[in-house]
Amino acid sequence: MPTFELRNSDGDDAGTFRTVAPDWRVGDIFRTGDGRRLRITAIPLEPTAQFVDRSTSGVWEVEPA
């Protein structure tokens, strides 16, 4: 199951998100396991190695929705 590292616009850690859905785009809104509703504001093409380990599918920049 893909797992995404979440970051706010300042680059601070906003948690992780696991999903079975394969296609996500900037502007999509999702709800985290703890009930937060977030919007994807950016999906970097090359995630920074410091934020992504081998179990992570990528990094999303998010904001409250």
**pLDDT tens digits, residue range 28-60?**
999 999 999 999 999 986 655 555 556 778 899
Tokens of 49: 């190695």
For residue 34, the tally of other CB atoms under 10 A from its CB is 6
63 vs 55, residue with greater confidence: 63
What's residue 1's pLDDT? 83
Phi, psi values for residue 28, rounded to 5°: -65, 145
pLDDT band at 12 (very low <50, low <70, confident <90, very high): very high
Nearest to 28, CA basis, from 4, 11, 47: 4
